[in-house]
Amino acid sequence: MWFTDAAVAAWKAEPRTTRGGQPRYSALAIKTALTLRAVFRLPRSGTRPIHLIVDSTGLQLCGPGERLVEKHGSKTRQSWRKLHIGVDADTGRIVASTLTTSDVDDVSRVGPLLDQVADPIASFTGDGAYDQDAVYC
């Protein structure tokens, strides 16, 4: 990879004239790094063990016309899905997710969620739905 002298000179951020901390890198440097990551499909840095928090939530699916039915008071059959999600506790970054039908229990999704996590796992935290023997194995 080769950068022009002008690009290297523009790498450092200009001193800030307003209140706040001084930026280290220019907008050009940040855009270049993000572009390289996207072009070469580079993962985010992540060699440290993460503290994984998992939970699930129900999602109601609305099809065409359901809004009008709801507005006028009649009832229809609602369609539900369950989103199972794993989050890095330190960064808040979603590191794993899976969407299932509403009848799938949380414990059965622990394995598929863990399979999606590329970083080493320091700890696993979940609510009472995950407090079963199958999770501790």
Q: Which of 61, 122, 53 is nearest to 84 (CA)?
A: 53
Say whether both 72 and 104 belong to one domain.
yes
Q: Does residue 26 lie within any of the structural domains?
A: yes
Q: Does residue 45 lie within any of the structural domains?
A: no
Q: Domain containing 10: what range?
A: 5-39
pLDDT above 80 (res 76): no
Q: What is the mean pLDDT of residues 24-45?
A: 79
pLDDT above 80 (res 116): yes
Q: Does residue 31 lie within any of the structural domains?
A: yes
Say whether both 61 and 21 belong to one domain.
no
Say whether both 34 and 82 belong to one domain.
no
CA distance 82 to 115: 18
The answer to whether the pTM exceeds 0.85 is no
